[in-house]
Chain A
């Protein structure tokens, strides 16, 4: 059962800019087991979406390895990659920008099937499109409508149907519910968990919303400025966050409950620039526990037991964090 479907090793993605090298993703390691959901959380600009795109080779990695189903996909040629893409799909954040406004619902969902010449005749294609619409809960009557006629939730269902069209095994969910109202968001989250069970899908679920990530993920990776600072199973992370950034992040969430017990840790300042970051811990400037060493040596993501990984020089000291 616990087979690794995808493993990312020391993945880097740098973008050259006028001011210097922008380290969007800087040495990221993780794996996702088959049928599992790995949540990737972090604030804007931390590199989570870039990671999602690099994993699918929608952006070319600067360095590192991406082992998908036993093969390093960074080494395969374009043609082979095109075949692999059937297996690896993505659902985008903005259901308004990710659907072509000049294509009807059926055309959008059929596009991956026609591009890959899956069906020889039109009837089979139409039948598959209808089947997909049923799967994601879109009524048949919408088959000839255009995206602008539909609300955000229905549009996101189209995006999901399109991603499912080629029967993938792995889907990158890039903030799929961020643009939706809570009641619609809940519908889409339930749909995605049903689909995962039905088709044994593996998800990389990217989001800035921790309560959503907690709800969907088996394990969670927290990113800060291009690096993973903590990776744990969802339960342990939420009960007992170790990295100071994770602690602050979790405490900052407004909880819809009276007299919430959590003491807020208010971080000072903003996320620093990812351009030519200095040696040392990226979180140094905002950390409440910082020491001299933190400014000199970059902490590596270390195994600290209980299937937990933390990138902090003082992870062992912070481990029994009282909460």
Chain B
């Protein structure tokens, strides 16, 4: 892994959905970087903007109602937002690929899994159908499925196996960047452990960079190198894994930790964050978290917090830390 070699950098990215009820700032002024072989965790609750970020990178935002308002997404030195549809098609599934949450809906139920894996290989590599199927069988073996099952249909596999097929499709062309959108959320814990281990091994083998979208801080602790915590479209804390777990700073991040029942300690009561996620068409003024924040100050409803570097490489969007 070469920490200095930038694979992806997102600069000042804003993505809005323009609807009749108002404009939703799904992603607001985002800055992130992923180095080669590195895994970035993107954490947040429903509606935080995690999936929109992923779709933005893939250029799959439905337009309209979606619109990339500003910013750039630089992948291997080139801005993806300047690419034509054809150029983008070359990249998607080849250099950047994606694993979706639900393996049942992301596979085609009427096509055998082998053909579904072969499809991306035929699209992006100069091979014929027979060679592609051979490669598909190799991929199946890599993800721990007996290659004899290449002609079977998705419904003949269990949930964990289906997700392995999706991973095989995503890795078939040896992508430089893999975006995994809650890849284990639909799976049972013992199967989740299998799949996470598999993803970690394959990532090392291929030296793939990864963006892991999850709501589970446990998964973050296991697979990520650095983490961005999102709230209402904003990255409110961005740091390496170690400082996130040893010195989380943003009140929302602290609230998330307080909400998780601990498996190791006993606690009488949880300390949840009060209130609810804001209405996306009506984000509170100033800091979007201020109505729920236990440390709210007067200024928080007026001033939008900027990224503050609290220690080296540890960024927090909170007025508590602004000079």
- Chain A interfacial positions (CB closer than 8 Å to B): 43-44, 151-154, 181-187, 189-190, 193, 208, 210-212, 214-215, 235, 238, 248-258, 260, 264, 266-267, 270-271
Contacts and interface: CB of A to CB of B under 8 A. Distances in A.
A266 B198 CA distance: 11
B285 interface: no
Nearest to A270: B158
Contacts of A271: 158
Contact of A182 (B191, B215, B221, B264): B215
25 contacts: A43-B188, A44-B188, A152-B46, A182-B215, A182-B256, A182-B259, A183-B273, A184-B276, A186-B273, A187-B274, A189-B261, A189-B270, A208-B188, A210-B189, A211-B263, A214-B263, A215-B262, A252-B190, A252-B192, A254-B221, A254-B222, A256-B217, A256-B257, A264-B193, A267-B190
Interface string B221-246: 11000000000000000000110011
Nearest to B45: A181
A190 B192 CA distance: 27
B79 interface: no
A215 B267 contact: yes
A95 to B, nearest CB: 13
B48 to A, nearest CB: 9
Minimum-distance CB pairs A-B, first 9: A254-B218, A186-B272, A215-B261, A256-B217, A186-B259, A43-B188, A252-B193, A181-B45, A186-B270
Interface string B158-181: 111100000000000000000000
A185 B256 CA distance: 11
SS of A interface (majority): helix
A183 B161 CA distance: 31
A270 B158 CA distance: 8
A155 to B, nearest CB: 12
B276 A153 contact: yes
B122 interface: no
A189 B215 CA distance: 18
Given A182-B45, A258-B246, 8 more contacts: A181-B45, A181-B277, A182-B215, A186-B271, A253-B189, A255-B264, A264-B197, A267-B194
Given A182-B215, A215-B267, A254-B218, A248 B259 contact: no
B263 A253 contact: yes
Given A183-B45, A184-B276, A256 B260 contact: yes
Interface string B250-261: 000001111111
Given A183-B45, A186-B258, A257 B245 contact: yes
B55 interface: no
A306 to B, nearest CB: 18
A273 B238 CA distance: 44
Interface in B120-174: 158-161
Contacts of A210: 189, 263
Contacts of B220: 256
Contacts of A43: 188-191
Contacts of B188: 43-44, 208
A43 B276 CA distance: 30
Contacts of B242: 258
A185 B277 CA distance: 13
Nearest to B263: A211
Interface string B20-60: 00000000000000000000000001100000000000000
A212 B261 CA distance: 6
Contacts of B261: 186, 189, 211-212, 214-215
B269 interface: yes
Given A43-B189, A44-B159, A257 B221 contact: yes
B140 to A, nearest CB: 16
A201 to B, nearest CB: 17
B267 A253 contact: no
A6 to B, nearest CB: 25
Given A255-B218, A256-B220, A208 B45 contact: no
A249 B192 contact: no
B45 A255 contact: no
B196 interface: yes
Contacts of B68: none
B163 to A, nearest CB: 12
Contact of B194 (A186, A190, A255, A266): A266
Contacts of B194: 266-267
Nearest to A181: B45
B270 A254 contact: no
A115 B267 CA distance: 40
Contact of A183 (B217, B222, B272): B272
A188 B181 CA distance: 26
Contacts of B259: 182-183, 185-186
Contacts of A184: 45, 272, 276
A183 B255 contact: yes
Nearest to B246: A258
A193 B194 CA distance: 34
Contacts of A211: 260-263
Residue with the highest number of chain B CB atoms closer than 10 Å, among A181, A251, A253, A256: A256
Contacts of A255: 218, 221, 263-264
A270 B256 contact: no
B299 to A, nearest CB: 24
A104 B212 CA distance: 39
Contacts of A252: 189-190, 192-193
A258 B221 contact: yes
A83 to B, nearest CB: 36
A153 B160 CA distance: 28
A270 B266 CA distance: 31
B309 interface: no
A24 to B, nearest CB: 17
B219 interface: yes
Nearest to B214: A254
